[in-house]
Amino acid sequence: MKPVSFIRQVLAACIYPELLENQTFPVDVRQRAQTLLDACEERSVGSYTDSSGLNHVRQSVAEFITGRDGVPCSASNVFISSGSQRALMVMVKLIASGEGDVPTAVLTPVPCRHTLPMLLDNAGVSLVPYMLDKDQGWAVDMSELHRAVNNARGHCQPKAIFISNPGNPTGHVQGRKSIQDVIRFASAERLLLLVDEVYQEYVFEDAAEFSSYKKILFEMGPMYSDTCEMVSFHSISSLGECGLRAGYMELVNIGPGVKHFVDTMLCTDISTPVTGQLAIDVMINPPKPGDSSYHTYMKEKEHIKDTLKRNCQKACEVLNNLPGVSCQPVMGGIYLYPCVTLPEETMKLAKELQVEAGPLYCEQLMQGQAVLIGSGCTHGLPAGIQQFRLCIMVPSDVLEEGLRRIEKFHYSTIKTSAPASQINTQSTLEM
């Protein structure tokens, strides 16, 4: 997707301050760049920062959260990291103590973000799966949460529950009651809430609305807001600026001793890339009405959101028309998560090669059609059924070309004549 102009312009001016001496960029871009450079040591993005991030950026994040939730947020509870993945790793390692031979565990949704199982394994923490309700659009099933935690106790010690809202990769957006139920559950079971809210800006289902866990937590009153321990995560990856490597977490009801160790662990990175930190500031504090860049900024952001909604509808239509494929509609985020009955030929070849059939299907698609999709979780699925992760945060013509190739590949693998495609595009897909 085309980068958001305001973010790139501000970063360009910060990296090369000579650009501030002419009229190349709008006045609000130059003013923001000046402000951000003033926050940097020696007014340079080449400088180090405190391990927990620039004070200016932490304060900006605190003001953003306060405005979003109507609940005060202190900058001392905000920690900048080199992406939400790094922040999550810090928190997981802090709880990975265990007692004797009983390992620490984290309740983890299935499906979940594809890097989470590896992260937990790397931290020496057990994964306790709880199945999301596919028939309800991948909603959280409270009876499944209770089953998971009860079955886990005795052979591991659950200390936290991880959840993403909007769901990654399911696209489910939790309603108020669902969030309240999860908070009550975490409080009753004395579990740390780890909440991934990276795609909060991308809710495109008309009937859905993003509500942060912190907002709902404080609306539930002191019984929960004063006691329930929670960490929420956000990242500039939501803007497609993944390579800048920056995100933040807010700690709620976490004691000063723990925050000291969070800061200490972040020291191992020395500091998050400064350009990424500045991008966070721009992300959560965009141009306001009346600013020179406001119209362009809003137009670009709406284009991204409209593209995601249009891509979702188109992809669901194409995928659900393929034999053996079903795909739940999503409410937000940047992924679809279709379920596929794998062709017999793929299953036979996987058995001969002694490899997993899902990744083999992905590899065959990549080699045959130059389309890359992610192999999803198979936990709880019958043999021959596989789920895949399909990113829809791409230009619509690229998605349509990708769908045409997926359609062609799928029909070829099941040895069925494909019907004339409804997709007509001359674009080339580059992955």
Q: Is 70 exceeded by the pLDDT of residue 416?
A: no
Give per-residue pLDDT as tens, 248-298: 999 999 999 999 999 999 988 888 999 999 999 999 999 999 999 999 999
Report the C-alpha gap between 351 and 354 in whole angstroms: 5
Domain containing 323 equals 307-413
With cut-offs at 50, 70 and 90, classify the pLDDT of residue 304: very high
pLDDT cut 70: percent of the chain above it: 95
Handedness of CA 232, 91, 246, 259 (dihedral sign): positive
**Is residue 396 domain-resident?**
yes
Query: Average pLDDT, stretch 325-343?
Result: 93
If asked whether residues 183 and 52 sit together in one domain, one would say yes
Tokens read off for 372: 């890359």
CB count in 10 Å sphere of residue 209:
12
Identify the CA nearest to 192 among candidates 267, 101, 103, 255: 255
Q: Is 70 exceeded by the pLDDT of residue 422?
A: no
The predicted structure's pLDDT at residue 98 = 57
**Is residue 330 domain-resident?**
yes
Q: Is 50 exceeded by the pLDDT of residue 56?
A: yes
Q: Is 90 exceeded by the pLDDT of residue 360?
A: yes
With cut-offs at 50, 70 and 90, classify the pLDDT of residue 206: confident
**375 phi, psi to nearest 5 deg:** -75, 130
If asked whether residues 64 and 209 sit together in one domain, one would say yes
What CATH code is carried by the domain that includes residue 250? Answer: 3.40.640.10
Q: CA-based Rg of the chain, rounded to a whole angstrom?
A: 23
With cut-offs at 50, 70 and 90, classify the pLDDT of residue 102: confident
Beta bridge partners of 235: 247
Tokens read off for 71: 């609940």
The predicted structure's pLDDT at residue 99 = 59
If asked whether residues 236 and 359 sit together in one domain, one would say no
Give per-residue pLDDT as tens, 61-82: 999 999 999 999 999 999 999 9
What CATH code is carried by the domain that includes residue 344? Answer: 3.90.1150.10
Report the C-alpha gap between 296 and 350 in whole angstroms: 50
Contact 413, 371 (CB under 8 A): no
DSSP per position, 303-324? HHHHHHHHHHHHHHHHHHTSTT
Tokens read off for 55: 């004070």
Query: Average pLDDT, stretch 39-44?
Result: 96
**Is residue 40 domain-resident?**
no
Report the C-alpha gap between 149 and 351 in whole angstroms: 35
If asked whether residues 160 and 262 sit together in one domain, one would say yes
DSSP-derived 3-state class of residue 251: strand
The predicted structure's pLDDT at residue 400 = 96
Give per-residue pLDDT as tens, 139-175: 999 999 999 999 998 889 999 999 999 999 999 999 9
Report the C-alpha gap between 111 and 379 in whole angstroms: 8
With cut-offs at 50, 70 and 90, classify the pLDDT of residue 403: very high
Parallel, antiparallel or unpaired: strands 374-375 and 335-336: unpaired
The predicted structure's pLDDT at residue 413 = 86
**Is residue 112 domain-resident?**
yes
Domain boundary among 249, 284, 319: 284
If asked whether residues 277 and 322 sit together in one domain, one would say no
**Is residue 140 domain-resident?**
yes
pLDDT cut 90: percent of the chain above it: 82
Token pair 């800048």 is at which residue? Answer: 244
**Is residue 299 domain-resident?**
no
Q: Is 90 exceeded by the pLDDT of residue 428?
A: no
The predicted structure's pLDDT at residue 100 = 64
Give per-residue pLDDT as tens, 213-230: 999 999 999 999 999 999
Q: Would you give the end-to-end CA distance of the chain in angstroms?
A: 13
If asked whether residues 194 and 267 sit together in one domain, one would say yes
If asked whether residues 249 and 398 sit together in one domain, one would say no
Query: How many domains does the chain divide into?
Result: 2
Give per-residue pLDDT as tens, 124-135: 999 999 999 999
Cα 14 from chain centre: 27
Identify the CA nearest to 211 among candidates 185, 186, 174, 247: 174
Beta bridge partners of 248: 80, 234
If asked whether residues 199 and 331 sit together in one domain, one would say no
**Is residue 369 domain-resident?**
yes
Helix or strand holding residue 281 (H, E): helix 274-284
**Is residue 43 domain-resident?**
no
With cut-offs at 50, 70 and 90, classify the pLDDT of residue 43: very high
Q: Percentage helix, strand, coil, to 5, in the chain?
A: 50, 15, 35
